[in-house]
Structure formats: C-alpha cells, structure tokens
Amino acid sequence: MKVEREELGRNIERAKSSGYDYLIKITAVDYIDNVTVIYFFRNLAEGKDATFEVELQPSDLWLVTIEPLFPAADWYERELQEMFGVIIRGRKAERLLLEKWDGKAYPLRKSFEWGKEYTSG
C-alpha cells in the first residue's frame, strides 16, 4: 500500500494493533526521480503479509523512525541512511554500519560511481 510520509507512522501503528507484529525488513529502491522506501510486515498468527511504500523526493529524503514500535527497525534504518541517504529522524543510536562512512556517498543509489574515491577531505 502506498502511503504519504505523514501517514506512515499511523498506518504502521494500525497494522501492528491489527496483528502485524513482525517487521520482516525495510529497504529502498532508487528510481532516480524518487527513492521509494518499502516496509514489510507479517501477521504471524494469520500468516499474512503487509507492505507500506513511501515515495521520497531526492531533495527531501527523510522519515521518522519506527524503532519505538519495532526495535528491529534500528538496523534497517541505519542501512537506509548509509546506503541510500534517507535521514531517519528520532533515532536514539548514532552507531554506524560502515566504519569509515562519511555521509558523502550512498552505495545503493544509482548516482553512486563505483571506483570513485569518496573521502571526507
């Protein structure tokens, strides 16, 4: 289901209260003109799945964390930030996945140039 950024939290809260109690994963796809973030959930009791998609403009890449609802979101949200450049607002931990990541390059974006030297200098 496609949702607006402002409605994402409410939709996820509703899904959780309806039994979608397991966060399978969060990922993103870079379509160049937008980055779509996709959340995958499962209702373990009923064996049903649900997805939520949020389209973000490249100039406005941010979302609010869902970690208070699903603590496992921490890892996925760090990946979104470091690999796609999607800023996650409200995160508690500031740990990095990539030891030397400097926020200047996002390896899973189509604009990433493999072999190019991305340094913090």
> What pTM did the predictor assign?
0.88
How many C-beta atoms surround the C-beta of residue 100 within 10 A? 8
Residue 96 belongs to a domain: no
**Domain span holding position 74:** 5-89
Please report whether residue 112 resides in a domain: no
CATH code, 74:
3.30.460.80
- Residue 102 pLDDT greater than 70, yes or no: no
Percent of the chain whose pLDDT exceeds 90: 71
Q: Is position 50 within any domain?
A: yes
Number of domains in the chain: 1
Given this model, what pLDDT does residue 101 score? Answer: 62
> What was the pLDDT predicted at 99?
60
Tell me the pLDDT tens digit for each residue of 26-80.
999 999 999 999 999 999 999 999 999 999 999 999 999 999 999 999 999 999 9
Structural contact between residues 111 and 101, judged by C-beta atoms closer than 8 angstroms? no
